[in-house]
Amino acid sequence: MNVMRRLKSIASGRTSISSSDSGGDAGTKRAKVDQEIERKVDGESYLVERGVTVPGQEQRMASTSQENAASTSNITSVTRTEKSGYDQLPKEMHQMKIKDEKTTNYDENEMEAAIVSGSGTESGQIIATTVGGRNGQPKQTISYMAERMVGTGSFGVVFQAKCLETGQAVAIKKVLQDKRYKNRELQIMRLLDHPNVVQLKHCFYSTTEKDELYLNLVMEYVSETVHRVSRHFNRMNHQHMPIIYVQLYTYQICRALNYLHHVIGVCHRDIKPQNLLVNPHTHQLKICDFGSAKMLVPGEPNISYICSRYYRAPELIFGAPEYTTAIDIWSAGCVLAELLRGQPLFPGESGVDQLVEIIKIFHKQMPPEAVDLVSRLLQYSPNMRCTALEACAHPFFNDLRDANACLPDGRALPPLLNFTAQELAGASTELRQRLIPEHAHARKENP
């Protein structure tokens, strides 16, 4: 009985550290303590990002998801009445110097600096940096015009910008860099190349007049998130998201997780609707925010105070130091259930022990295939949860594998069946046949 009380208490966010945070995690004070612990137990010289503490913020800044565009994992939403402050760029950008990254060794003598023009306090500031210059290649100057800040958190800011050379919109995440450590988020993002994972385009360093070093991650800009899309449908006479979009988004989440878990070997550790970017025209989904991501090593402890509260797996709630990528599968199940219900599955006051009752409600309201998939993703035991690739092959997604499947407006679906050999490595013949229908094979052979 005491164990269940503790579980329900932690699941609802009522920990020994009080929190004014209503949407995700307990206060940054607790998060900072655990992040320092992780630095010690990892046995690696990886940076645990740190920054100015902002009361009520969640524990990590995301990379590119946005409330209004390119938002981050733990972005503070700003109302229209604060628009004047929302559009201003951070004060640290005032007269800062830009340093292009040349090596993972952060020796200032090995970084070339370029002066940033503009006051740094309003949109229109020009940020100039250089890329290339290696292997005999000439250097190339790239200039970004900052347009507006789209998010802020305790570990950095994200602003939307435009590349002046190409006219392409980008999102730039700016985080304080400890010169003593490598940045884990950067190291992981350099490995990523998948249609359902946000792309890192460039990175550079900047310094302020206080000689603080900042890492700037330049990423592709995607204008919406699953969170905003879901909220849009909920506001339309309290309608749920159309099932085709639930299928599309969940499938792409699972495909991206299969890539992260089995190709790259990374656990995301903060899957939630705010960290799932969506192109509103093509409905292609991309996972973002790798600020909490880590390559989990069997036998090595990790911090358990990770992942936003509504999407936290039972083993994390119990404080298990050794866990697996199955925590991401649980989070994906929570997201699927939220899209089906129109509200979070475990909204703070609910405990994990209520899962059985919720599934009973699902049986009365949802398609049986959806209920079955949720049940497979939300297995209490991590070892019993299906893998991300097995989830992709689930009958709930059969409509997406139909040769005539298309978006409601008649446009083609985003790429769903173009699996690489790496993605399918280790998959049985039977699983591959369920994943890729005959018409997809024929189309690949006769493009």
What residues act catalytically? 270
Here the tokens at position 86 are 């929302």
What span, in angstroms and rounded, lies between the C-alpha atoms of 127 and 90? 13
Instruction: Give the list of residues 6+ apart from residue 340 with CB closer than 8 angstroms, or none.
Output: 240, 241, 246, 362, 366, 370, 374
Residue spans of alpha helices (H) in 214-367: 226-235, 243-258, 314-317, 326-341, 355-365
Q: How many CB atoms lie within 10 A of CB 216?
A: 25
Closest Cα to residue 11, out of 312, 292, 274, 307?
312
Which residue type is seen at 368?
P
Here the tokens at position 432 are 């591959």
Cβ atoms of 124 and 88 closer than 8 Å: no
Angle at alpha carbon of residue 104, lines to 100 and 108, rounded to 5°? 55
The C-alpha torsion from 370 through 345 and 292 to 416, rounded to 10°, is 20
Quick one: how far is CA 410 from the chain centroid? 29
Instruction: Give the list of residues 6+ apart from residue 345 with CB closer than 8 angstroms, or none.
Output: 310, 334, 337, 338, 358
What span, in angstroms and rounded, lies between the C-alpha atoms of 182 and 351? 38
What span, in angstroms and rounded, lies between the C-alpha atoms of 268 and 153? 19
- List for the chain the helix, strand, coil content (%; round to 5): 35, 15, 45
What span, in angstroms and rounded, lies between the C-alpha atoms of 220 and 173? 11
Strand ranges across the sheet with 113-115: 113-115, 97-100, 200-207, 213-220, 169-176, 156-163, 139-153, 126-132
Here the tokens at position 311 are 């999407």
Q: Tell whether residue 174 is among the known ligand binding residues.
A: yes
Which residue type is seen at 400?
L
Cβ atoms of 101 and 112 closer than 8 Å: no
Q: How many CB atoms lie within 10 A of CB 438?
A: 9
Annotated binding-site residue numbers: 174
Annotated binding-site residue numbers for ATP: 174
